[in-house]
């Protein structure tokens, strides 16, 4: 199985249609999907599983969607292409529709039992190995489900993936057939004594029946209760945390007050500064104001200080008199003016004028200089002011958002308290159910023991088989097959487990420098971890080691399933080759092991889909650069109106992508819709 394309419509966070094309390039089997928490990564992962298995997911339909939700997954398997489609109707999941696709992409054969086809390709009980939510925040399988200490769930999962659950069923069937035929045989040719023993066995069976169904229903209840407990735990984990918001507010609000104070101070400083420079300011403005129109009007330069030759030359050159009247160049008047202006000894009037003009020039220069320093200083103060102002605006906006978030959360504390109450009730129900299960189990074991003793007794009883030869033959055949299947199953199971163990240890050695190896206990499937240096059990594993072992185990299980698909060498197990989809991997693993972990997942899986946080994206991208076939970002859309629709280029996680920045508008009420968007990173 290889995913090719997914179309998501109105599913959970996704409003309208969103499309993602998985990488189908065998040399670049990795599809990377990056997004923040809450961006829509988990919804995307759930969409795949919902489409294939229709599992019960709360709130499938987007809050504000008018139409039904649907998801279409196109995939290839053993040379053929398929399109799986599932939709909602009235908020409920409808059945799976599965078509084979023709070469041109048109829908061909429609399967009558689509779920069976999907289960033959990737059986539902195995899906937890192929879809891994390492954050463990959903009700899907999480890393925590894979317990290194083994236990019935791990054993069940591993036996399932190896196909042993199917042979268990056959052995059970044969057991039932043998018991049924033995009963018939005694009815036909048994003595009164053997019939009495058989009756006791039957009576015990009749007693065991209700006990079994009671124990099984208790087991189902337990499973449901544990699921509910997990849901509550997940809700508790996923509830918006008011504490950090309040903490941020507590930090921001005093900051805003002090910034406002600072702003006020700076504003005062500016006003006082302006006041202190007011005369200069007014003089300059006034001079500018008076000078400008005259210059424009008369087209001459107004004399400023005609006390030196250069200035006189300039006046003469500009053809202007000190009074502003134009004078003809090289005229006597000009010469006279020049003489008058430069003559400092004989003409008192001129001297006096020159002195006054010099004084005016100095004043003008001082005004100009003072004005320049006024402007520079003022700019400095206004710059400071605008820095404080923009900080205030930014903090005000953030405070507004935080307050809105707090309001929209409602009373989170009350919700948490209610969930904790519910959890207590569930926990007490779990306790009761576990006790009931144990009581029934003890009774069943006891009665089975009695039954077995009677069966042994029956073996020695005198039975006339003349009338039941055919029955004896069937019993013989069933017993032979059952014994052979049981023996073969045990051998195969041990062999398969050991192979998995070898593969696992090779993978660990290749991926890590931590000197650890594992041995899988065939009894309970627990992973006993050893230190290769000391040969002693390694206790107190850190979370990074645990994550490393888990990923190695997943990779090996997935890899062996795919190999089985190619070799078809084990009639007990149906082959399973499917993409490996992991949400937020390697969050606990040491940085030095991530490269090895990525390489291992890429080596063992045929197609790999990784969801990552922006903070990890670049690292994974660098480490698997040659293996990435497709890259996508899932983003929560900004708010806006449909009318504001504009295509913008955004810089997201260091990549430029085009993004339509607006929310869809629900046409009925004009309300804006928050949604997740899938955007390819090119």
Partner 1 sequence: MNEDDVYDDLKNAEKEAEIALIENPILNDVIGDLMMLDDESDKTRREKILNLLEKRSDLDEI
Contact residues toward partner 1 (CB under 8 A) are 116, 166-167, 169-170, 173-174, 176-177, 470, 473-474, 476-478, 480-481, 484-485, 488, 491-492, 495, 498-499, 501-502, 505, 517, 519, 530, 532-536, 571-572
State the Cα–Cα distance between residues 491 and 499, nearest whole angstrom.
12
Min CB(477)–partner 1 separation in Å = 4
Nearer residue to partner 1 within complex by CB, 156 or 477 = 477
Query: Which is nearer to partner 1, 220 or 483 (by Cβ)?
Result: 483
The CB-of-630 to partner 1 minimum distance in angstroms stands at: 36
Integer Cα distance of 393 and 395 in angstroms: 5
Taking the least distance from each CB to partner 1, the nearer of 258 and 532 is 532
Q: How far is the CB of 177 from partner 1 (least distance, A)?
A: 6
> Minimum Å distance from CB 537 to partner 1?
9
CA distance 133 to 583: 5
From the DSSP assignment, how many helices (H) and strands (E) are in the chain?
A: 16, 19
Task: Please provide the distance, in angstroms rounded to a whole number, between the alpha carbons at the two ends of the chain.
Answer: 26
Q: How far apart are CA 65 and CA 9, in angstroms?
A: 9
Shorter beta-carbon distance to partner 1: residue 149 or 173: 173
Shortest distance in whole angstroms from residue 150 CB to partner 1:
16
Cβ proximity to partner 1, 489 vs 675, nearer residue? 489
Minimum CB distance to partner 1 smaller for 484 or for 513: 484
CB of 216 to partner 1, least distance (A): 14
Return the number of the residue (325 or 498) whose C-beta is nearest partner 1. 498
- Provide the minimum distance between the beta carbon of 197 and partner 1 in the complex, in angstroms, as a whole number: 24
Determine the 3-state secondary structure of 99 from DSSP: strand
d(CA 261, CA 662): 37
Query: For residue 660, with 0-12 CB atoms within 10 Å meaning exposed, 13-18 middle and 19 or more buried, which class applies?
Result: middle
The Cα 319–Cα 3 span in angstroms is 88
- Smallest separation, CB 642 to partner 1 (Å): 50
Residues listed for the chain = 682
Residue with smaller CB distance to partner 1, 323 or 539: 539
SS (H, E, C) 565-607: HHHCCCCCCCCCCCCEEEECCCCCCCHHHHHHHHHHHHHHCCC
DSSP code, position 653 = T
Q: Which is nearer to partner 1, 296 or 536 (CB)?
A: 536
* Tokens representing residue 582 in the block: 């992991």
Question: What is the smallest separation between the CB atom of 138 and partner 1, expressed in angstroms?
Answer: 30
**Among candidate residues 158, 126, 156, 166, the one with its CA nearest the CA of residue 496:** 158
The Cα 38–Cα 634 span in angstroms is: 10
Pull the structure tokens for residue 667: 């046409």
Nearer to partner 1, 273 or 530 (CB): 530
Q: How far apart are CA 577 and CA 26, in angstroms?
A: 14
Paired with 647 in beta bridges are 660
How far, in Å, CA of 190 to CA of 265, rounded?
Answer: 110
Q: Which residues lie across from 95 on neighbouring strands?
A: none
* Nearest distance in Å: CB 571, partner 1: 6
Q: Which residues contact 145 (CB under 8 A, 6 or more apart)?
A: 128, 153
Minimum CB distance to partner 1, residue 565 (Å): 17
| CB of residue 480 to partner 1, shortest distance in Å | 5
Q: How many whole angstroms separate alpha carbon 127 and alpha carbon 39? A: 24
Q: Tell me whether residue 89 or residue 172 sits nearer to partner 1 (CB atom).
A: 172
Choose among 670, 676, 449, 589: nearest CA to 134: 589
What is the spatial distance between Cα 251 and Cα 243, in angstroms, rounded to a whole number? 12
Q: Which is nearer to partner 1, 432 or 479 (CB)?
A: 479
Q: 29, exposed or middle or buried, with CB in 10 Å at 0-12, 13-18, 19+?
A: buried
Q: What does the DSSP 8-state code read for residue 139?
A: S
CB of 549 to partner 1, least distance (A): 15
Interatomic CA distance for residues 630 and 626, integer angstroms: 11
Rounded to a whole number of angstroms, the minimum distance from the CB of residue 198 to partner 1 is 19
CA distance 159 to 155: 6
CB–CB of 232/421 below 8 Å?
no
The nearest distance, CB 531 to partner 1, in angstroms, is: 8
User: What three-state secondary structure class fits 410?
Assistant: coil
* Between 177 and 461, CB nearer to partner 1: 177
When the beta carbons of 499 and 546 are compared against partner 1, the nearer one is 499
Q: Compute CA distances 441 → 196, 385, 388, 437, whole Å.
A: 26, 78, 73, 6
- Of 13 and 500, CB closest to partner 1: 500
Task: Specify the residue, 559 or 629, whose C-beta has the smaller distance to partner 1.
Answer: 559
Angle in degrees, CA 201, 207, 211, rounded to 5: 130
How far, in Å, are 552, 574, 575, 609 from residue 122 at the CA level? 20, 9, 9, 16
Q: How far is the CB of 485 from partner 1 (least distance, A)?
A: 6
């Amino acid at each position: 199985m290889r995913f090719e394309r997914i179309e998501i419509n109105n599913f959970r966070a996704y409003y309208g249609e969103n499309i993602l094309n998985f990488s189908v390039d065998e040399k670049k089997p990795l599809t990377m999907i990056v997004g923040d928490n809450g961006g829509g990564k988990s919804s995307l992962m759930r969409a795949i599983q919902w489409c294939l298995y229709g599992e019960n997911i709360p709130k499938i339909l987007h809050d504000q969607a008018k139409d039904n939700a649907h998801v279409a997954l196109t995939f290839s398997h053993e040379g053929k292409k398929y399109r799986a489609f599932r939709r909602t109707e009235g908020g409920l999941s409808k059945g799976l529709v599965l078509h084979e696709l023709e070469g041109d992409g048109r829908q061909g054969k429609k399967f009558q039992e689509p779920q069976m086809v999907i289960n033959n390709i990737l059986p539902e009980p195995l899906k937890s190995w192929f879809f891994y939510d390492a954050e463990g925040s959903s009700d899907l399988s999480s890393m925590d489900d894979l317990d290194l200490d083994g236990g019935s769930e791990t054993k069940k999962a591993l036996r399932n993936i190896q196909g042993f659950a199917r042979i268990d069923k056959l052995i059970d069937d044969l057991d039932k057939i043998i018991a049924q035929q033995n009963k018939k045989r005694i009815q036909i040719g048994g003595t009164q004594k053997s019939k009495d023993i058989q009756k006791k066995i039957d009576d015990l069976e009749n007693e065991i029946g209700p006990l079994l169904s009671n124990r099984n229903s208790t087991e189902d209840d337990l499973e449901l209760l544990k699921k509910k407990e997990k849901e509550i735990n997940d809700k508790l984990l996923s509830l918006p945390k008011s504490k950090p918001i309040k903490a941020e507010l507590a930090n921001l609000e005093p900051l805003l007050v002090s910034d406002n104070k600072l702003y006020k101070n700076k504003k005062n400083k500016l006003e006082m500064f302006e006041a202190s420079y007011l005369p200069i300011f007014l003089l300059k403005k006034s001079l500018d104001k008076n000078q400008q129109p005259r210059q424009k009007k008369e087209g001459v330069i107004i004399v400023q200080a005609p006390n030196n030759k250069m200035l006189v030359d300039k006046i003469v050159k500009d053809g202007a008199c000190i009074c502003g009247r134009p004078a003809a160049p090289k005229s006597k008047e000009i010469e006279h003016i020049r003489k008058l202006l430069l003559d400092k000894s004989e003409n008192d009037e001129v001297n006096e004028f020159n002195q006054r003009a010099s004084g005016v020039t100095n004043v003008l220069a001082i005004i100009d200089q003072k004005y320049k320093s006024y402007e520079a200083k003022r700019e400095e103060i206004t710059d400071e002011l605008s820095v404080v102002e923009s900080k205030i605006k930014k903090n005000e906006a953030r405070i507004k958002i935080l307050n809105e978030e707090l309001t929209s959360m409602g009373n989170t504390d009350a919700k948490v308290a209610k969930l904790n109450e519910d959890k207590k009730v569930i926990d007490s129900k779990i306790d009761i159910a576990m006790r009931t299960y144990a009581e029934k189990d003890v009774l069943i074991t006891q009665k089975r023991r009695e039954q077995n003793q009677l069966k042994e007794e029956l073996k020695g009883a005198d039975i006339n088989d003349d009338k039941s030869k055919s029955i004896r033959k069937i019993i013989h055949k069933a017993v032979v097959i059952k014994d052979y299947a049981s023996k073969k199953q045990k051998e195969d199971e041990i062999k398969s487990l050991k192979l998995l163990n070898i593969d696992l240890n090779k993978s660990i050695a290749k991926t890590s420098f931590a000197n650890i190896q594992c041995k899988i206990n065939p009894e309970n499937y627990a992973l006993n971890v050893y230190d290769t240096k000391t040969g002693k059990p390694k206790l107190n594993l850190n979370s990074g080691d645990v994550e490393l072992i888990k990923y190695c185990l997943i990779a090996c299980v997935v890899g062996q399933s795919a190999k089985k698909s190619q070799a078809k060498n084990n009639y007990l197990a149906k082959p399973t080759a499917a993409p490996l989809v992991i949400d937020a991997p390697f969050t606990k693993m040491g940085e030095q092991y991530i490269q090895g972990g990525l390489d291992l997942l890429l080596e063992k899986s045929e197609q790999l889909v990784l969801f990552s946080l922006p903070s990890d994206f670049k690292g994974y991208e660098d480490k698997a650069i040659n293996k990435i076939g497709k890259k996508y970002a899932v983003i929560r859309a900004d708010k806006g109106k449909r009318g504001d629709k504009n295509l913008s280029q955004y810089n997201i996680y260091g990549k430029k992508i085009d993004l339509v920045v607006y929310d869809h508008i629900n046409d009925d009420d004009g309300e804006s819709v928050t949604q997740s968007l899938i955007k390819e990173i090119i």
